[in-house]
Structure 1
């Protein structure tokens, strides 16, 4: 399920290489998406990373035909050249476009629906 030993994932992840901008305050880092789920995002780590770890981030992902996903997230970990974010779905505007994007990359549609149901119960 994961390329990192000891890592447990509660949600199915899809490896998708897309551009992502990480915004915090007046700072913007242009990165690449490593993987994504309904509840989390992993990106590569910028060469210069001077973010405030306890402050929220906005991740802007160009999802092609699904449009631009704007996800609000908190940094959960920095390791092995990647950043791991927990996504906060405050208004739910991105859930449907995210579902559409993930449905092309997660082979088991029942797993994706179960993930969305888990997310709704949190």
Structure 2
């Protein structure tokens, strides 16, 4: 399989909630990028590919939250991949900082942000 990933995935531990419509599940975050997240599929969830979802991550200070609106991009084994369709400015800023701290490579981060902007423009 050819790797099509354009964004660095960061293994990150945070309290997560996945919401679809009236359903709200606690979830375990496996990794996150500027364009999405990978979660352990919540028990008793009936998620399907392309379902619109919201992902909320409460960071360790328990006051900072990242909110991501997106859709289920893939379901494999017990994992669910979420593609980000929208994120508010504060959430994007927090996520950028997480990626920056975890990659330690500002040039890589700038390339990914440029790719994200170009991706959103198309």
- Asked if these proteins are the same fold (TM beyond 0.5), I'd say yes
Q: Residue 14 of structure 2 corresponds to which residue in structure 1?
A: 18
Unaligned runs of 5+ in 1: none
Alpha-carbon distance, 1:33 to partner: 0.7
Aligned residue among 37, 49, 60 for 1:64: 60
Q: Deviations over 1:50-92 (max 9, x none)?
A: 1354331000001224710110011111113211111012554
Higher helix share: 2
Q: Residue 95 of structure 1 corresponds to which residue in structure 2?
A: 92
2:35·2:116 contact (CA, 8 Å) conserved in 1? Answer: yes
Three-state SS of the structure 1 residue aligned to 2:46 is: coil
| Equivalent-residue separation in structure 1 for 2:9 and 2:87 (angstroms) | 20
RMSD of Structure 2 on Structure 1 (CA)? 1.9
1:45–1:39 distance in 2 versus 1, CA, 3 Å: same
| Equivalent-residue separation in structure 1 for 2:106 and 2:78 (angstroms) | 30
Instruction: Tell me the matched-pair count.
Output: 118
Unaligned runs of 5+ in 2: none
Q: Deviations over 1:9-50 (max 9, x none)?
A: 111111112111000111011011100110010001122121
Task: Give the ranges of 4+ consecutive aligned residues of structure 1 lying more than 6 Å apart after TM superposition.
Answer: none
Q: Residue 78 of structure 1 corresponds to which residue in structure 2?
A: 75
Alpha-carbon distance, 1:99 to partner: 0.6
Three-state SS of the structure 2 residue aligned to 1:89 is: strand
Q: Name the TM-score, length of structure 1 as normaliser.
A: 0.85
